[in-house]
Structure 1
Amino acid sequence: MGKKGGNKTGSKAATAPAETASETELSPQKKFDLLKNNEKLLKVTSVDFRQVVESHVLTDKLIQKSISIESEIDPGFPKRDENSIQELTKWMVKFGAKIDGVEIKEMEDFGYGICASRDFSEGEFIISVPRKLMMTTESAMKSELDYHIRNDPMLAHMPNVILALFVLLEKFKGDSSFWAPYLNCLPPSYLTVMYYSTAELDALKGSPIYEPSLKQCQNIARQYVYLRNLFHKHTDAGSLILKKYFTYEQYRWAVSTVMTRQNFIPASSPDDPMILALIPWWDMGNHDNAQLTTDYNIEADRSEYRTCRAFSAGDQVFMSYGKRPNSELFLHNGFVHVDNQSDGVKLRLGVSKSDPLVALRCGLLKELCIPSSAEFLLPASVRPFHPHGKFFAFLRIFNMDQAGLEEWTKSDNKEDLMLPDLTLPVDTKVWRFLSTRIKLLLAAYPTSLKEDENMLSEQNLSPCMRLAILQRMTEKRILNNTISDLEKLENGFDPNEQ
């Protein structure tokens, strides 16, 4: 189960909206110091991704210096409470939302969530939210951001950044913003990796999610410097609003808001593609294993949510964020779902260019529409594990000798390589190869599964450190279970007999 936001220990206390925040400006010396520090930050975050591991400690030091300098002008973050939740609900209903039998409440271990105030059977209507209440990339294009959206090449290709800036634009307007009741109910901080300390990020070492986490931090820091420079160079309406309070902490918060809450909805015009949207009130729902039961009613021009299963009065009403492994939920939503039925560990495999049989292997893979380098999922819920489809075909082709490759290249039944119930001489080699590869992945972690389980019993772990340990622990369980299944396959166990 998951939640979209959290209060991280040490986060800055919430303050009033920007219009009543301190009017303090940075001194000329601090403006100069910030400029020079951000120049270094831009340089260190512009390195090749292969150097990101080496540069992330310096990146964090530079980010912390920017945060320290900007602390004098940072307007703070929302301070949601029962009163702001009530104001949000009134605003929603006033402008056409339908909310039936549910309320927003603080839920144990989840922060805020949606709570049933009556019994529900599966498939019952709960919430509908009309388009006009949503914050979308379309509404951003009609705002003071219009100039930059039309003229800046980065924004033209990054709708998620547009939406993050739109959130800040409206936040900085304070109570004069139409979306103020919604913005006042957003979390003051998140558990996305941009909020992790260096030590908390390094707790992910060995995990397939380690480098993607560092890259995300690098990207957001680089975007912050780029956008800050952009707004300070222009005098358009959007820049005048944003430049005064645009800080790293504000941008990190806005990006995290969008990352953890964004959804695709149909564009207003049927000729346009889908657009990004933040859907107020509905986005307080937390994730669990379930079917997707949110849809967009084009005729009524609103999103609609129906219960994914039966709930009793007092229960938390969950929804599904989609069938996604914990690596995606961790990186993009800031939580780990321990009982995730869609979990798995992504295994990257590729044919080396130095392989003397590279031409034969790649040629056969191409005929099966399989890339020569790809990620495959080792699933958590499929037990006993047995590769199938393109994953199995890749493993077989990767481990074949020249005679086998030549024979299958001539075959008219190449698709049979994907069949798990077809036994081939190369399969024993496949089990050994895959088992060895997974053992190497496990050896890359600095801790064992047992050590992780013991660490989680400690009471003084920060929320971010706890999540990092939980993420690598779920990965190790999947890898260990897969090795156990592969050893059975190597010894002649037939999973079809289960």
Structure 2
Amino acid sequence: MSSNNGSFGGSSSCEGFDVSQYRKFLNELQRRASELWEITLCHTPTSNTVELLREHMVIRESLLEIGIMQKKFSRKSETDLTYSERRKVALADFLQWANMVGISHCFVEIAYDEDVDGFGLISSDYVTVGSDLLRFLRPSPLFEESLLLYRNVSRQFIHFLLEIIRSDQFRHRKKKSKEMSKLEPIYVNSPLTAANFTFNLYRWSVACISTRINMIPSEVLRDDIGQPRLIPGLIPFLDMANHSYIEGAFHESVHFSVEFDCAEIIAVRDYKPLEPVNIFYGWRSNRDFLLHNGFVPSEKNIRDIYKLKIGLPKSKREVARMHLFYALGFLAESTIFAFEINISKPYFHDLLFRFAQIYVLDEVFSTAEQVEEALNSSDNIRKAWNFLHDRFALLLRAYDRVIDPVKVTHPEPSEFSRYNAIRKSMIERLKLSEIEILQKVKDFCNEQLLGTA
């Protein structure tokens, strides 16, 4: 690409724009990105969710402004389409690419899945056995996690964008000295430009890498006994398969056939033509499904988990008490402690009750014998169970009333409101499961309290 003529050449998305105009765009984009980085993203995130939400809105607005600037240098055809039209074009492009590189598929094809407002795999033949939504998340712990994940991905994006801007500036510099040529920025020869490296592109890439990695046998690497080593890889067509829980003893629903050099979906039942073909993604919480995969399974998650966080007030941070916490294996610099609460028994690890015993101690004694005696006194045990019971009851009250998504009826919505309605229904499923967990563990703590009376 030449940087000295009046317009860009090659296949750049900035084709047809004046170079001097593009340089001004780079300078302004760099200023905006640097400002967001220095004022917000280079600092440690706050633990206050109100401040975190306020910061989130600033980040979101800044990224929107950056995206609008980038659109001015994108192809017109990419910006004038509606959301649905862009998705259809993207799917057509994907299928064209899959055919071009020789990705073949048997018995399955891609189709729109109305239940998840996205694409999935359906059976193309008979197959036999063998084979403002963020705020709506409150009071789920996922509200804070979503803000932190968005912040983290935004931080990464701005870091890379600033590097790509420097590479773009280097490409289009009027004169380059020999010394400058030796110090080429890292992305100077990449297809990425300040115009085409958008936040939507980056977060889509992060989602693909973090949720779509498959382990496949290497053609080259071998282990000690000569078997192919498993290496991470992407299988794009297979990644269109949606999730469902599998009944029976199937431990995996995807298999890589060395004999046929292809990925196979193991059918756990008979599939009729046009029937959805899903795979088992693995056991994880509804929270993780929504945060990383963008949906909540419609079936009941019998291994769902609630993430409990307990902050330590200043009155509980004496050196002796903190040493007891650290002896349990907690990080020395932390004053916020996290625990996993299960939907079925055992509801939590013994570590949580041990934490509660230390938390409610009126006085931390100097000798180990005195501490152990105080921790295991009947009065302290009763206070520990009472503390946990009240904590779960308080969390439960915060949910107030959640609508059962099965009973929700929605009028024929517009494209955007339909998207929101589907996502809200998923969040309601998430909350219902969290309410069930909190209710069960609260009742369990109450039973333990009655046992100590």
The TM-score bracket by the shorter chain reads 0.5 to 0.7
Moved more, 42-51 or 250-259: 250-259
Q: 1:15: which partner in 2?
A: none
Matched, 1:109 2:115: yes
Amino acid aligned to 1:285: A
Residue 278 (structure 2) pairs with residue 313 (structure 1): no
Q: 1:370 to 1:41 in 2, by over 3 A?
A: closer
Task: Determine if the alignment matches structure 1 residue 332 to structure 2 residue 283.
Answer: no
Say which of 39, 44, 47 aligns to 2:43. 47
Of residues 249-258 and 307-316 in structure 1, the stretch that sits farther from structure 2 once superposed is: 249-258
Aligned counterpart, 1:289: 245
Structure 2 contact 404–428 (Cα < 8 Å) conserved: no
Q: Offset at 1:67?
A: 1.5
- Which amino acid is the alignment partner of residue 120 of structure 1? T
Counterpart CA distance in 2 for 1:82 and 1:35 is 33
**1:379-398 counterparts in 2 under 5 A?**
379-380=342-343, 382=344, 386-398=347-359
In the TM superposition, what are the counterparts of 1:57-456 in structure 2 within 5 Å?
57-75=57-75, 76=78, 79-80=88-89, 87=96, 90-91=99-100, 94=102, 99-110=105-116, 111-116=118-123, 117-122=125-130, 124=131, 199-234=132-167, 235=171, 238-240=187-189, 241-243=191-193, 245-265=196-216, 269=221, 276-290=232-246, 291-295=251-255, 304-307=263-266, 309-314=268-273, 315-338=275-298, 339-349=300-310, 354-355=315-316, 359=320, 362-363=323-324, 366=327, 374-380=337-343, 382=344, 386-399=347-360, 428-444=382-398, 448-450=401-403
Give the counterpart of 2:29 among 8, 28, 34: 34
Distance in 1 (CA, whole Å) between partners of 2:128 and 2:94 is: 23
1:210: how far off?
A: 1.9
| Aligned partner letter, 2:42 | S
Which blocks of at least 5 consecutive residues in structure 2 are unaligned?
Answer: 1-9, 79-85, 172-183
- Give SS of 1:348's match: strand
User: Are residues 424 and 477 of structure 1, via their aligned partners in 2, closer, same or farther at CA, if it must alter by over 3 Å?
Assistant: farther
Superposition TM-score, scaled by structure 2 size:
0.68
- Is contact 1:351–1:358 with CA below 8 Å preserved after alignment? no
Alpha-carbon shift at residue 227 of structure 1 (Å): 1.8
SS of the counterpart of 1:346?
Answer: strand
The structure with the largest alpha-carbon Rg is 2
CA distance, structure 2, for counterparts of residue 83 and residue 248 of structure 1: 22
Q: Report the CA distance shift for 1:47/1:440 in structure 2 as closer, same or farther (over 3 A).
A: farther
Using the alignment, how far apart are the partners of 2:53 and 2:192 within structure 1?
A: 32
The 1-side partners of 2:340 and 2:32 are apart by 41
* TM superposition shift of 1:325: 0.6
> Alpha-carbon deviation of 1:343?
1.9
Cα deviation per residue 1:64-113 (whole Å; 9 max; x = unaligned)?
11111111223536645886576466456x46x5x443333333424322
Q: 1:316 to 1:392 in 2, by over 3 A?
A: farther
25, 43, 53: which is aligned to 2:17? Answer: 25
Alpha-carbon contact 2:29-2:66 (below 8 Å) kept = yes
Is the 1:349–1:374 contact (alpha carbons within 8 Å) kept by the matching residues of 2? Answer: yes
TM (norm. structure 1) is 0.63
Partner of 1:129: none
Are 1:101 and 1:118, in contact at CA under 8 Å, matched by a contact in 2? yes
Is the 1:293–1:320 Cα contact (8 Å) retained in structure 2?
yes
Partner SS for 2:316:
coil
Q: Which moved more, 1:264-273 or 1:60-69?
A: 264-273
CA shift for structure 1 position 283 = 0.7
Contact 2:133 2:420 in 1 (8 A): yes
User: In structure 2, do the counterparts of structure 1 residues 345 and 355 end up closer, same or farther at CA, with 3 Å as the change threshold?
Assistant: same
Q: Which residue of 2 aligns with 1:160?
A: none
Deviation at 1:389, TM superposition (A): 4.2
> Percent identity of the aligned residues?
21
User: Is the Cα contact below 8 Å between 1:104 and 1:115 reproduced in 2?
Assistant: yes
1:307–1:346 Cα change, 3 Å: same
**Distance in 1 (alpha carbons) for counterparts of 2:277 and 2:230:** 27
- The alpha-carbon deviation at position 364 of structure 1 amounts to 7.5
Distance 2:428 2:386 in 1: 24
Kept in 1, the 8 Å contact 2:242–2:278? The answer is yes
Cα distance per residue 1:302-341 (max 9 Å; x no partner): 5643426213223312111111111111111111224223
Q: 1:232 to 1:30 in 2, by over 3 A?
A: closer
| Pairwise CA RMSD | 4.4
**Contact 2:70–2:198 under 8 Å retained in 1:** yes
Measured after TM superposition, the shift of residue 409 of structure 1 is 7.0
Query: CA 1:462–1:119 in 2, change beyond 3 Å: closer, same or farther?
Result: closer
Change in 2 beyond 3 A, CA 1:231/1:454 = same
Give the gaps of 5 or more residues in structure 1: 1-17, 125-198, 418-422
| CA gap 1:266/1:387 in 2 versus in 1, 3 angstroms | same
The code of the aligned residue for 1:69 comes to: M
In 2, the alpha carbon distance for the partners of 1:228 and 1:305 equals 38
SS at match of 2:112: strand
Q: Distance in 1 between matches of 2:256 and 2:157?
A: 33
Matched residues in 2 for 1:473 and 1:255: separation?
A: 25
Q: Deviations over 1:180-210 (max 9, x none)?
A: xxxxxxxxxxxxxxxxxxx332333432122
CA distance in structure 2 between the partners assigned to 1:389 and 1:308 by the alignment = 40
1:286, distance to aligned residue in structure 2 (A): 0.6
Contact 1:326 1:343 in 2 (8 A): yes
**Are 1:357 and 1:402, in contact at CA under 8 Å, matched by a contact in 2?**
no
Letter in 2 for 1:55: E
Alignment coverage as a number of residue pairs = 386
Structure number with higher relative contact order (C-alpha < 8 Å, ≥ 6 residues apart): 1
Is the 8 Å Cα contact of residues 25 and 72 (structure 1) preserved in structure 2?
A: no
SS for the counterpart of 1:377 is strand
Distance 2:442 2:359 in 1: 17
Residues 350 and 270 from structure 1, CA distance in 2 versus in 1: closer, same or farther, beyond 3 angstroms? farther
